[in-house]
A = this chain, B = another copy of it.
Amino acid sequence: MAVGAGLWRSLRAHQVYGANTDVGKTIVSTVLCRAVQQERRRAAFLKPVSTGALNDADDRHLAKFGEGTLTKCLYQFDEPVSPHIAAKQKAIPRDEDLLASIHQTLSGWAQSDIDFALVETAGGVHSPGPNGNSQADLYRPLRLPIVLVADSRLGGISSSISAYESLLLRGYDIQSVLLFRDDYYQNHEYLRDYFNKKSIPLVHLPVPPARPDAVDADSQRRDEESMAKYYGQVSRESEILRLLEEASLKNAERIQRLEEMAGRARDVIWYPFTQHQGMQAKDITVIDSAHDDFFQTFGSGSASSSDSALRPTFDGSASWWTQGLGHGNPDLSLSAAYAAGRYGHVMFAGAVHEPALALADRLLKTLDNPRFTKVFYTDNGSTGMEVAVKMGLRASCARYGWDASQEQISILGLKGSYHGDTIGVMDCSEPSTFNQKVEWYRGRGHWFDFPLVKMVNGTWKIEIPAELREDLGSDVEFESLGSVFDLERRLASDSGQRYKQYIRRTIEDLVQKQGMKFGALILEPVILGAGGMLFCDPLFQRCLTDVVRDHPELFAPDASAKSSPSWSGLPVIFDEVFTGLYRLGRPTSASFLSVHPDIAVNAKLLTGGLIPLCTTVASQEIFDTFSSPEKSDALLHGHSYTAHAVGCTVAVDSLRTMSDMQQNGAWDNYQADWQPTKSVAVSQSTPDVWSVWSQGLLQDLSRAASVESVFAIGTVLSISLLDSQGGGKFDRILQTQFLADIFPGYTSTAGKDLQQSLAAGGDQFNVHSRVLGNILYLMSSVTSKPESLREMEALLRSSLM
């Protein structure tokens, strides 16, 4: 269950964390709440989980001394130990329920006359909550501004700063620090300087009266009197009042900033792929933070000042296809911070550092391609593909003795391919609306049309483009998606033969009649993403590589003599920037084709969705082409941050985590759902193909009146909608879908309608999605919770059926 981050216009809500246990959180809370009450405003105090003797409970203390402060405790445990131990003796609330209760309580207060609320934690920042995980992690989805109670005792400087750092690296904003004065240790002096440098105000309070030694009624009474006196004085201190004023101001400023952000962004940001004419501030989503699968978006649906100003919104495009392990993942944050602390950046010429080497090793293992021996680093898919193209062209020119400065060397690919926005790799896609206005674009290649995989009316089928039916035959139906991938069987079939003949004939024609020279075959295996979520018949991609490799003579008359044990015909480049690294449920998308490319490019999920990094991995033979006594034969490419330590470290941890998930059966339930039912006869060899999206959903949606077809594989779900123009036509898709992604609603309003329906969301959350013309796709991370996915499936059904 998704919970919104806590932000209200009418309520300043904070979470109180302690630098350690017993630092005086409750006393500080009492001082603050009482000061608010004295100013004739209403304060409230929430203790989500309380441990310790009942009459000692913090909320009781607040009720007694808080001068009318409203108090509430959600869960009370008697033992004065960490909640995770106390909870062993009692029914434990689930973390999601605890968070929901807190949010609900605060929302209720926001709708009443309360305007200041504190949510107090137990113990220190990492003291475990009822389910044993750190409170700093547990409460992170709420991301309330923090009041940190520092430690005034010996050692308190250290524990206070460490607690601050632990909160910071989880993305919390620390709004103020309070602690008791101790004139001997003077922690408050040191910490004031420290936090002032970070623009965080620190206020120190007099030491509260000592607790009574005896428990008799008399000392109890004396204790109460002296505490009352203490609070009476301290809660009127001018520093406290100033702090509360500042907190109030900060809350207002934060909301004002969020209100202005979209307008400011429109003024100063030049957005990628965006036509700014007519763009209004309201077209820009303001994202305050993100956690796990959810953006916290500002303003979506908040009507009155007492409504929550932030709303959880499922990141339905996996943040441009990058997310694997969730936003704000604390493990990846720590990995990044460790590498930043150990190295910063290390220039990568003639030097090596552990993360770069460890990632190369792990990647070679992950890709599991016996040809691969070398890893080249760049920063993003586009630059990684530039490198791949330089590699591939050099290898073929060297083998075939071509002088590329004198003649045009082209590439072979598929229509609708997309490899990035730098001009060199733009040249690897066919001319289209997308690149026609890039002044230096010159398409250099031939691009095949191809058959598509889709589910229509509950049946998986291969759809042959009309122009190709004569050559490739007519549409074919399949019992399951798995059987579409049963390539050994299909290669031997009539389809396989026809595909190969057609491909071979086409290349012959291009080379012999048109005089073209080809330097590389470039494919996005299985799905052409940016081109429009085009699910290419894997048999067609397999036949392409087979023909290219089996017939080197197609590309140069005497080529067969020169072919080697490794690449043959043309170097085969797989652009797995989008499809690789578990996006489709497997470490590589090449494995779906049972093809070992000579060069592969990975990015996006490589760092689990945190920071830019890209790898271009190559075979020894490709590498050897650049080896020569001539130094200028080297591959002349490199960026300043090549193999930057932070990216490599995070990538090593991401790959390890995803690999562990696979081995530990994290996706078993999804896989079970995709097992062919017994009623369907399936050969033993049917490959394991599955999705986090349920088979049932696909069946239902594919039968919906407004749906042309659907598919799902791995974390990707794609819904092709019928529109008034008759939608779903193959050739139109190829020409316009990328553009439609850039400009939602460009060609079709069908996608846009569904998108709006998802954006309005259900009870729990909204859904942020991207459309490609009449195609709406959703993409999860590999850690998305089944509940969230089922909630989205329910939303889809209710929108489309």
Tell me whether A100 is interfacial, beta carbon within 8 Å. Answer: no
1/0 per residue, CB under 8 A from B, across A583-622: the answer is: 0000000000000000000011000011110001010000
Q: Are the C-beta atoms of A612 and B379 separated by less than 8 Å?
A: yes
A405 / chain B contacts, CB cutoff of 8 Å: 436, 441
Tell me whether A629 is interfacial, beta carbon within 8 Å. Answer: yes
A336 / chain B contacts, CB cutoff of 8 Å: 336-337, 340, 646
Tell me whether A655 is interfacial, beta carbon within 8 Å. Answer: no
Q: Are the C-beta atoms of A168 and B337 separated by less than 8 Å?
A: yes
How many copies of the shown chain assemble into the complex?
Answer: 2
Q: Are the C-beta atoms of B157 and A274 separated by less than 8 Å?
A: no
Q: Are the C-beta atoms of B319 and A346 separated by less than 8 Å?
A: yes
Within A722-747, which residues are at the interface with B (CB < 8 Å)?
A: 739, 742-743, 746
The verdict on A632 contacting B81 (CB below 8 Å), with A360-B269, A444-B440 known, is no
A462 to chain B, nearest CB (A): 30
Q: Are the C-beta atoms of B628 and A277 separated by less than 8 Å?
A: yes
The verdict on A742 contacting B440 (CB below 8 Å), with A166-B162, A340-B610, A611-B641 known, is no
A686 / chain B contacts, CB cutoff of 8 Å: none
Q: Are the C-beta atoms of B357 and A261 separated by less than 8 Å?
A: yes
1/0 per residue, CB under 8 A from B, across A320-350: the answer is: 1111001111101110111111111111111
Q: Are the C-beta atoms of B283 and A640 separated by less than 8 Å?
A: no
Tell me whether A782 is interfacial, beta carbon within 8 Å. Answer: no
A638 / chain B contacts, CB cutoff of 8 Å: 272-273, 421
Beta-carbon nearest neighbor of A348 in chain B: B272
30 contacts between A and B (CB under 8 A): A20-B155, A21-B154, A21-B155, A123-B155, A165-B334, A169-B337, A172-B342, A257-B354, A265-B352, A268-B364, A268-B374, A270-B375, A284-B352, A322-B347, A323-B345, A327-B346, A333-B341, A336-B336, A336-B337, A345-B609, A379-B379, A379-B380, A380-B380, A382-B422, A386-B421, A386-B422, A404-B440, A424-B440, A612-B647, A634-B742
Please report the total number of A residues contacting B with Cβ < 8 Å. Answer: 174
Q: Are the C-beta atoms of A276 and B345 separated by less than 8 Å?
A: no
A82 / chain B contacts, CB cutoff of 8 Å: 154, 157, 185, 190
Contact check: which of B22, B132, B376 meets A154 at CB < 8 Å?
B22
Q: Given known contacts A277-B628, A421-B636, what 13 new A-B pairs fall within 8 Å (CB)? A: A82-B157, A171-B341, A264-B352, A272-B377, A286-B352, A290-B342, A336-B646, A379-B379, A390-B438, A611-B611, A612-B612, A612-B641, A631-B742
Beta-carbon nearest neighbor of A744 in chain B: B350
The 7 tightest CB contacts between A and B, nearest first, are: A272-B638, A124-B158, A171-B342, A423-B424, A21-B155, A171-B341, A327-B344
Tell me whether A170 is interfacial, beta carbon within 8 Å. Answer: yes
Interface stretch of the complex, out of A427-435, A501-509, A557-565, A786-794 = A427-435
A127 / chain B contacts, CB cutoff of 8 Å: 155, 157-158
Question: Which among A286, A333, A354 has the highest number of chain B CB atoms within 10 Å?
Answer: A333
